[in-house]
Amino acid sequence: MTLHVVLIDALNLIRRIYAVQERPFLRNNSLAENTKQQVLFNTANACEQALTKILTKLQPSHALAVFDAQAPCWRYEVYPDYKKGRKKMPEHLADKLVDIQDRFMAHHVDSLVSEADEADDLIATLAVKVALRNQNVTIVSTDKCFLSLLNPHIQVYDYFNRRFLDQDYVINKFNVKPDKLLELWTLTGDNTNKIPGVAGIGQVTAAQLLNQYGSIKSILAASDLKQSVRDKLADHDEQITLSRKLLTLKNDIPLGFNLKDIRLPSENALASS
């Protein structure tokens, strides 16, 4: 029988929930010491409620919450400015993660915490492995990087807006199909993660080029390409290679567990793997 594996981008979920709980108590962009514990308590409760709603909505046979490693991932070694300027997780929230993981485990949802890998790569690895077996995966995240994985067996669910981010969403937002997103972001860069693109080529131009020629390689090989565009690409040859490497999700990380290890003990769960 067909399995349905739900992979939760845990820090994407937790940090957004924390921000909502923290906002009413912020004064001068900081949190008073005497309110931190209340905010953390509210966050943990809200995260547990969110998990319950996710499981109820998606009805998975298997589920896993995936966390980023504490140490910087390989992308920082390749490009030290990766995610430069992004606000760090508050230390008091980081200290609360174990409690939140315990709450998830009380609902039979285990947590995967790597020593060195980014959650994005771990989720991509597991999603691709499951999809290759013709089983179904739902990634719960608002991170746009997962949209490049969309296929008949992999879907993305935005918990906060209660909607699936499908191919129509991608086309409406980026004007390319999901399988062209990596090429698109290689050209435009990814400002969220501070990955630069090709100067002078924005999303509209990048989408037009990809829809016409299909790939960056084909764009460069085209005989009718505008010289100004050709020059921009030639001037950023090394940047294109670096950006593509940074933007590409790994899908071959050794995980060290089987699907049966994350099977939910529900009477509605499907046959174990």
Q: How is domain 4-170 classified at the CATH fold level? A: Rossmann fold (3.40.50)
End-to-end CA distance of the chain: 9
Binding residues: 120, 187, 196, 198, 201
Helix (H) or strand (E) holding 165: none
pLDDT digits (tens, 9 = 90+) for 205-246: 999 999 999 999 999 999 999 999 999 999 999 999 999 999
CATH number of 176-247: 1.10.150.20
Binding residues for K(+): 187, 196, 198, 201
Q: Between β-strands 4-9 and 62-67, what pairing exists: parallel, antiparallel or unpaired?
A: parallel
Amino acid 34: pLDDT: 86
Indicate where the chain has its CATH 3.40.50.1010 domain(s).
Answer: 4-170
| Averaged pLDDT in 10-residue chunks for the chain of 273 residues | 94 97 88 91 98 97 94 92 90 96 97 92 97 97 98 98 97 97 97 94 96 95 92 92 96 91 72 41
CB-count burial class (<10 Å; 0-12, 13-18, 19+) for 143? middle
Binding residues for Mg(2+): 120
Indicate where the chain has its CATH 1.10.150.20 domain(s).
Answer: 176-247
Nearest to 174 by CA among 159, 187, 155: 187
32 contacts 25 by C-beta, under 8 angstroms: yes
